[in-house]
Amino acid sequence: MKKFMLTIGLILLCLTPIYLHSDQAEAAESAEPAEPAEPAEPAEPAEPAEPAEPAEPAEPAEPKSGWKFEENDWYYYINNNKATGWILTGSTWYYLQPETGIMSTGWVRNNHKWYFLDKHGAMKTGWIYTSNKWYYLSHHGDMQTGWALDNNKWYFLNPSGEMKIGWLYQGGKWYYLKPYGDMAVGWFVANNKYYYTYPSGIMAANTKIGNYYVGYSGQWIQDTTTPYYLQGVLLVNKHHGLPSNYGTGENPQARSAYEQMKSAAAKQGYTLNIASGYRSFEYQKGLYWRYVNLYGQAEANRFSAYPGYSEHQTGLAFDIGGRNSSTWVNEGFDNTPEAKWLAKNAHQYGFILRYPPGKEHITGYMYESWHFRYLGVNLATKVYNSGLTLEEYLGEF
């Protein structure tokens, strides 16, 4: 009930009019009403913002093409793909490794052929100089071996490709490659000696070129008619003669050495005799032409010297025979005990077998088991131990 009465009271309170204080009321009645404020001009509506231009779509990335330097190596791309093998750019060939595509430099082997790429990767042709050697690459770039023709000159490349210089023995023939590698043709000098090669490059040997003779080793042998000394040794053969007034008899030192040898042989049961010693120019002249009349000049030249070209005129040569005089100065002496003893021991007394077997192409004379030349013990021993003829030992051939 109490609650109800409280509610009624509140309602009545709200309905009761509010009376102002008399002063307040009068003031309110006497005040003029305020002029109404002018309404504010409406703000101009904001222009609508222009819509933003849509962003252009990003252009797709261009595919890789051409040379690219990546991770310290050069590659060549074709439509994003690394090229491999040979490629031609401009007028230049390059080689890209098959496994990686890396550009190659230096020597490259491809299809069993060698090629050379410079430091920029470009394939080289023609002559190249690398590792102190010359090589020749064809216009296709492959390394050449064997004979190669360039600018009308022939060159020879070894199986490993490097250019050959000096003497070349091929197919049983000698050729000479000059210091710049080109094949020698005609007369040329090598090791201070003259040689001649035909237009084919083959060295001439044992023949005359014009009025000049070249020996079996190819070098020009200058004919002489005055005493010719080579390394201090008097050399007399088919190319080096003596004047008609040269010589007066046996060389005393040579004769003394022979007597010592004869005595030594006798102590061992061998008998030695001089069948022919010193011969003058005139004596040799008669002997030579007698043989020519008997056997013809070509055959006579094999065992008899033209006058002025006989070692016997020096007084240093002896034709030595044994006990049986019928074998003197002929092939019958070859297999005698004395011939065998001399061949084995003569050098110990200063003599050499001057015309040994198998050396006719060098000495110009057939094998003469009886003809010995005095050189002195020291030199004779060196020549004997070398197995060379006197011409070979002295460098004439």
Catalytic site residues? Answer: 368
Print burial letters for 215-252: b (CB count within 10 Å at least 16), e (below 16).
bbbbbbbeeeeeebeeeeeebbbbbbbbeeebbeebbe
Q: Compute the distance between CA of residue 270 and CA of residue 257 in angstroms, rounded to an integer.
A: 16
Residue 395 in tokens? 């460098």
DSSP codes joined into one string, 230-255: ETTEE--SSSB---TT---S--HHHH
Q: Compute the distance between CA of residue 206 and CA of residue 238 in angstroms, rounded to an integer.
A: 12
Nearest Cα to 168, choosing from 113, 218, 222?
A: 218
Q: What are phi and psi of 386, to 5 degrees?
A: -75, -25
Nearest Cα to 356, choosing from 343, 344, 347?
A: 343
Q: Compute the distance between CA of residue 328 and CA of residue 394 in angstroms, rounded to an integer.
A: 29
Q: Compute the distance between CA of residue 277 and CA of residue 250 in angstroms, rounded to an integer.
A: 7
Q: Compute the distance between CA of residue 391 and CA of residue 215 in angstroms, rounded to an integer.
A: 11
Q: Compute the distance between CA of residue 203 and CA of residue 187 in angstroms, rounded to an integer.
A: 10
Q: What angle do CA 209, 214, 220 make, to 5 degrees?
A: 100
Spell out the residues 6+ positions from residue 274 whose beta carbon is closer than 8 angstroms to its own.
Answer: 258, 318, 319, 320, 321
Amino acid found at 358: G
Q: Which secondary-structure segment (H or E) carries 112?
A: none
Residue 126 in tokens? 């023609």
Q: What is the 3-state secondary structure (H, E, C) of 71-83?
A: CCEEEEEECCEEC
- The label of the residue with tokens 């070249």 reads 214
Q: Which secondary-structure segment (H or E) carries 217?
A: none
